[in-house]
Amino acid sequence: MTTRFDSEGIPTLIPEQGAATLSAICSRIVSQDNLYELLRILGEVSAVNMKASSAVAGIIEEGRLVFRQAYQNGSWISASPSCPKGEYWEILSGQKPRIERDDLLIVPFSGRYGVIGVLEVRGSKESAHLLHILAAVAGPSVENLLLRREKRNLRARSDTLNKLSKAITDKIEFSELLTTISDIMVRCLGTTHCFLYLLSPSGKELVCVAGAGWKLEELHVNLDENSIIAQAIHSRVPVILEDTSLQPDWHCSGEMRELNEKSVLALPLIQDGTVLGAMVVSDALRPHFFSKVDLATASQLADQAAIAIKNARLFRDEQSKITTSERLKAQLEAIIHSVPVGIAVYDCSDCLLLENPVFKQMFCLPAHSDQTGMHIDTIVGLIEDEHLHPDLAARIHSPHQTAPFEFELVDPQRWYRVSYTPFSSQGKVAGHVVSYCDISRDKGIERRIARTVSERTEELNDANRQLSQAFQDLQRLYHLKVNFLNAVSHDLRTPMAAIVGYAEFLQEEIAGPLGERQHQFVQNIMDGTDQLIRLLDDLLDFARMEVGSFKLACYPVEYGHLIERAVANLNALVLEKKLSLELVLDPELPNLCADQDRIVQILNNLITNAIKFTSPGGKVTLRVRHRGEVVVTEVEDTGIGISAEELPHIFEKFYQVDTGMVWRVKGVGLGLAIVKQLVEAHHGAIEVESVLGKGSTFRFILPIQQFPE
């Protein structure tokens, strides 16, 4: 057998020179100190010497058979298993020495403790014993590199853990600690990138806070998406993606596509059962990068990092509290020193914690003296005021008063108000704040106000006495007026009855026949007496309403019948004025509980007014409608109308509308006032609408249900 080298320097087995060629191949294999480069060489050597179309070497890592890259026709491609897992297991367990079918040939290579990998070739033109020879040569070298890698990883893991522990001790500043953790992880595992994410306050996304190998600014990961980092957070266990080419949508974010990673490991950061964030370690050069040892190292580093992050956060929060406390203390002192009120703060032992300049000035203490830490008794002893009794001085400065009080200093004459406010710390009373406010100006104002109030009160009392006397005079005059109206109404009825009686005798010709002109005179007498009687009735009703003796006699009445009766009584007046009167009744009107005579009085008054203020040829319309629980009655005319200025006053007593016409309608102005009171006495309401020159509409509403008498 002879040895021949191809264009790339790969030794080829020639039967005549087999020993020399095998020695060259072994020398090249043994000289490799990189495991994955050795596997590539095994693929190349197998493909070239077996005259195969492709070849690949695979090793067992963490219980799985892992293929890296296959050598095919002079180039490298991604490799994948060629057989079902069961067939590989038959080789790995020693049940079969090889797999040989069609153009596929697979043989195992072993170390001291068993099978550690396989060599595969396709389209081979040589016999299987050549591949067994290569496998026998490769086994010890691959095992040696695996052992070396494991030792290296263990040393690196130990060194990294020591560095991380030191970093936890040395790095207190939060952002610096995060960057240190990322750098240590990259150096320990030999990866290209490492990124640290912390959970946002909302708990719905992660924010990248530090990284090594690449700068990703404003990187956010939504935990609702199915990314590898979200899987690690939700499952709370590390998640490995051995070959990103097999899962193109693995990216945590769009920015990470730029890294072109081959292997990715995501680890949750958990401390005391609380998820703080996640760590993503990735390699941009090699798929299937992370071994079982790498995973264990990374997991331990992640645990240490979680502890460091929590401690750094606690330290940062404490520092923030201290800084905030110091700032608040400075602000509080500035505020206390600037307020124009004396302030003294005592602790639970009655020792002074803080005082301001106004306090010293009030009690004549030296401006540059410092009483901080002094007991209250010592401070009271320093106050020199001959007009201030010692007991009062102790009370003034005591931090145990339960309520504010005021006291006066005689020389100079000043008034002060003392207030006490306890303050707490950790749920317990830690002391008291005593404030001393100069209220001398307020006291002066208070005295002036008191004097002014006293003077004004006396003036008001005089005015009240005068008003009371005037009110009594008015009440006496009012009762005189009512009694006068009542007496006049009653006293005039007797002669009016005689006049009416004798007029009726004359009209009936009892005393003898009358001529036509005499009959007219008698009719005029009767019309005048009727008008005077109605006026007397109005005056009498008004007087009763004024003194509160007016009563209704309410019984169920047929409202429709009352309406027809009122219209019939006024037909003569309508014809006399040459008007038209239209009656519009609801076909089914309910009975009302009302005073029949007063309802007729309301109708007569409103209809009579409409007739009086409507010129000949005009029209008066009476409408009655049933609306739910009420009956609505409207009296509409086409008369002179009422101006907008006078509308608000037409229901007032003794008010008469100025018609603006040559003739005037006579009256005393009580009719509408009485109508309003009668309607309201029936628990109803009345209203009016009018347009000057076009007419008016009076509308009153009466309830159907009965009401208490």
H helical segments located in 70-127: 85-92
Q: Provide the domain count of the chain.
A: 3
pLDDT tens-digit profile of 94-129?
Answer: 777 788 877 888 888 888 878 888 888 887 756 677
Q: Are strands 114-122 and 263-271 parallel, antiparallel or unpaired?
A: unpaired
1 plus 78 within the same structural domain:
yes
157 plus 178 within the same structural domain:
no
- For residues 385 and 402, give the distance between their C-alpha atoms in angstroms, rounded to a whole number: 25
Q: What is the DSSP string of 363-396?
A: TT--TT---TT-BHHHHHHH---TTS-HHHHHHH
Name the burial class of residue 677, with classes exposed (0-12), middle (13-18) and buried (19+) by CB atoms within 10 angstroms of its CB: middle
Q: Average per-residue pLDDT in the chain? A: 78
274 plus 143 within the same structural domain:
no
Of 317, 345, 370, which residue sits at a domain end? 317
Question: Interior CA angle at 201 toward 200 and 207, to 5°?
Answer: 10
218 in the Ramachandran plot: left (φ > 0), alpha (ψ -120 to 50) or beta?
A: left
79 plus 97 within the same structural domain:
yes
Residue 37: inside a domain: yes
133 plus 189 within the same structural domain:
no
pLDDT band at 527 (very low <50, low <70, confident <90, very high): low
Residues spanned by the domain of 222:
171-317
Indicate whether 663 pLDDT > 60: no
**CB-side neighbour CA atoms (13 Å) of 695:** 16
Of 120, 135, 170, which residue sits at a domain end? 170
Indicate whether 143 pLDDT > 70: yes
Find the CATH number of the domain harbouring 595: 3.30.565.10
pLDDT tens-digit profile of 458-467?
Answer: 999 998 989 9
18 plus 166 within the same structural domain:
yes
156 plus 35 within the same structural domain:
yes
- For residues 587 and 599, give the distance between their C-alpha atoms in angstroms, rounded to a whole number: 20
Residue 421: inside a domain: no
Find the CATH number of the domain harbouring 11: 3.30.450.40
pLDDT band at 634 (very low <50, low <70, confident <90, very high): very high
Residue 493: inside a domain: no
pLDDT of residue 167: 62
Of 140, 170, 200, which residue sits at a domain end? 170
pLDDT of residue 3: 39
pLDDT of residue 597: 84
Ranges 370-374, 394-398, 433-437, 529-533: which has the least confidence: 394-398
Residue 337: inside a domain: no
More confident residue, 161 or 75: 75
Indicate whether 689 pLDDT > 90: yes
Which residue has 């003034």 as its token pair? 396
- For residues 38 and 148, give the distance between their C-alpha atoms in angstroms, rounded to a whole number: 14
**Amino acid at position 702, single letter:** L
pLDDT band at 2 (very low <50, low <70, confident <90, very high): very low
- For residues 275 and 57, give the distance between their C-alpha atoms in angstroms, rounded to a whole number: 41
Residue 445: inside a domain: no
26 plus 7 within the same structural domain:
yes
- Percent of the residues in the chain that have a pLDDT greater than 70, as a whole number: 79
pLDDT of residue 622: 93
221 plus 302 within the same structural domain:
yes
Residue 470: inside a domain: no
16 plus 164 within the same structural domain:
yes
Name the burial class of residue 634, with classes exposed (0-12), middle (13-18) and buried (19+) by CB atoms within 10 angstroms of its CB: middle
pLDDT band at 662 (very low <50, low <70, confident <90, very high): very low
pLDDT tens-digit profile of 543-602?
Answer: 667 666 677 888 888 888 888 888 888 888 888 889 999 999 988 888 888 888 888 889
Residue 343: inside a domain: no
Contact partners, residue 36, CB within 8 Å, separation at least 6: 68, 286
pLDDT of residue 308: 79
- For residues 637 and 622, give the distance between their C-alpha atoms in angstroms, rounded to a whole number: 9
- For residues 237 and 245, give the distance between their C-alpha atoms in angstroms, rounded to a whole number: 23
pLDDT of residue 86: 66
88 plus 24 within the same structural domain:
yes
Single pTM value for the model: 0.37
pLDDT of residue 1: 39
Indicate whether 349 pLDDT > 60: yes
More confident residue, 697 or 12: 697
557 plus 688 within the same structural domain:
yes
pLDDT band at 685 (very low <50, low <70, confident <90, very high): very high
- For residues 314 and 296, give the distance between their C-alpha atoms in angstroms, rounded to a whole number: 27
Question: Interior CA angle at 115 toward 109 and 116, to 5°?
Answer: 80
Of 383, 386, 321, 375, the C-alpha closest to 350 is 375
Residue 274: inside a domain: yes
Dihedrals phi, psi of 278, to nearest 5 degrees = -155, 160
